[in-house]
Amino acid sequence: MDAKLAYWTAAALNMALLMGFAASGVRRVQNGQVARHRRRMLTAVALVLAFVLSYTIKLAALGREDLSVWSDAAVWTLRFHELCVFTMLISGGLALRRGLALARTQALMEDPDAPQALPKDLKGHGRAGKVAVLAAGLGFLSACAVLASMYGRALS
C-alpha cells in the first residue's frame, strides 16, 4: 500500500479511537463521574496531540498530497474537514484550559477547602467542550469521506 494512504488510514483509526474516548467522557460527566470524564477527555486530547505531531513528521517525510488529481468534490470535502479540525483544536483548547482550572475546584476535588466552581465557568467549559466534540464528530465523518476518495483513486 502507498505510504501516504497507509498514514491516512492510521490517522482515521486514531480519530475513531479519540471519538470513542470523547463520547464516553461526555457520558461519564452526564452521570456525575467527573474524574472519569477528566481521564477520558485527557486521553482524547493526547490522541489529538499525537496526530498533530505525526502530521508534522508526515509532511517532512512524505510531503503534501497532490490535489491537482482530486475531483472538486473531494477537494471541498477536504476543506470542510480541515475547518472541522481547526474548530476542534480551538474549542478543544478552550475546553481544556477551563477544564484544568475546574480540576482545582470542588467540581473535581473532595477537599472542602477547595474553591467552589463558578456556574459561569462550568457553563463556559461545557459549551466549548460540546462545540469541540461536535466538530470532532463532523471532522471524523468528513475524514472517512476523504479517505474513501483516496482509496477510490488508488484502486482506479
Residue with smaller CB distance to ligand HEM, 9 or 14: 14
CA distance 2 to 8: 10
CA distance 116 to 79: 42
Residue 42's nearest CA partner among 56, 58, 28 is 28
Residue with smaller CB distance to ligand HEM, 45 or 143: 45
Instruction: Report, in Å, the least distance between residue 121 CB and ligand HEM.
Output: 9
Residues that bind ligand HEM (CB under 6 A): 26, 29-30, 34, 37-38, 41-42, 45, 92, 95-96, 99-100, 102-103, 107-108, 122-123, 125-126, 129-130, 132-133
Residue with smaller CB distance to ligand HEM, 79 or 123: 123
Residue with smaller CB distance to ligand HEM, 43 or 149: 43
Instruction: Report, in Å, the least distance between residue 103 CB and ligand HEM.
Output: 4
CA atoms within 13 A on the CB side of 31: 11
CA distance 32 to 74: 41
Instruction: Report, in Å, the least distance between residue 86 CB and ligand HEM.
Output: 14
Q: What is the dihedral of CA 28, 81, 144, 94, to 10 degrees?
A: -20
| H/E element, 91 | helix 72-102
Instruction: Report, in Å, the least distance between residue 11 CB and ligand HEM.
Output: 19
Residue nearest to ligand HEM (CB): 129
